[in-house]
Amino acid sequence: MEPPYDPATAYHEAGHAVMAMSLGRPIRRVDVVARGNRLGTCEFQKGIIRPTQDWLEEQILILLAGMAAEARHTGADALGGASHDLRQVRRLATQRAGDRQAERYERRMLAKAENFLADDASWQAVEAIAAELLRLGTISGRAARHLYESATVER
């Protein structure tokens, strides 16, 4: 029997959530229930837990973390499933670096997101959230925060 939810999508959305929480962005909910042209979503709450140093860069990292987590889980390039995210990244990168340097800036930010996910605690948080998404389809921001903190708090 095939699982009801797509594992690649679960890792993708978990990647967004873990990066966002690490940057202090509150999560409202995360889901892997396909709706229209979206396979899943990571929704943010209004407001920010702490002041941001560089909103634009943080937004790019959150967007790229989904693709990076999916690629790490599947072992394959995740460009196809991240087309919406990549369009947003290109728009933001162009704002930051201009047309000529946007692609180079994007590569640098992707490497930064991949490096973040290479950290054992960060990856454990992604795996925990993805597992819960595969089990339930949707989790609250509170549940995501609990899983994130359980994986990343030093014992």
| Angle (nearest 5°) at CA 42 between 52 and 39 | 145
pLDDT score of 2 more than 90:
no
C-alpha–C-alpha distance, residues 5 and 32, integer Å: 7
Among residues 51, 46, 40, the alpha carbon closest in space to that of 16 is found at: 40
Q: How confident is the model at residue 155 (pLDDT cuts 50, 70, 90)?
A: very low
* pLDDT tens digits, one per residue of 30-43: 999 988 878 899 99
The CA-based dihedral angle spanning residues 117, 119, 120, 126, taken in that order and rounded to the nearest 10 degrees: -20
What average pLDDT does this structure show over 111-124? 98
Given a contact cutoff of 8 angstroms between Cβ atoms, the answer to whether 61 and 39 are in contact is no
pLDDT score of 115 more than 70:
yes
* pLDDT tens digits, one per residue of 132-143: 999 999 999 999
* Measured CA distances, 34 to 4, 47, 73 (Å): 11, 26, 20
pLDDT score of 78 more than 80:
no
Q: Which residues contact 17 (CB under 8 A, 6 or more apart)?
A: 27, 30, 42, 129, 144, 148
For each of the domains in the chain, give its residue range(s) and CATH number, in order of start. 7-152 (1.20.58.760)
C-alpha–C-alpha distance, residues 30 and 32, integer Å: 7
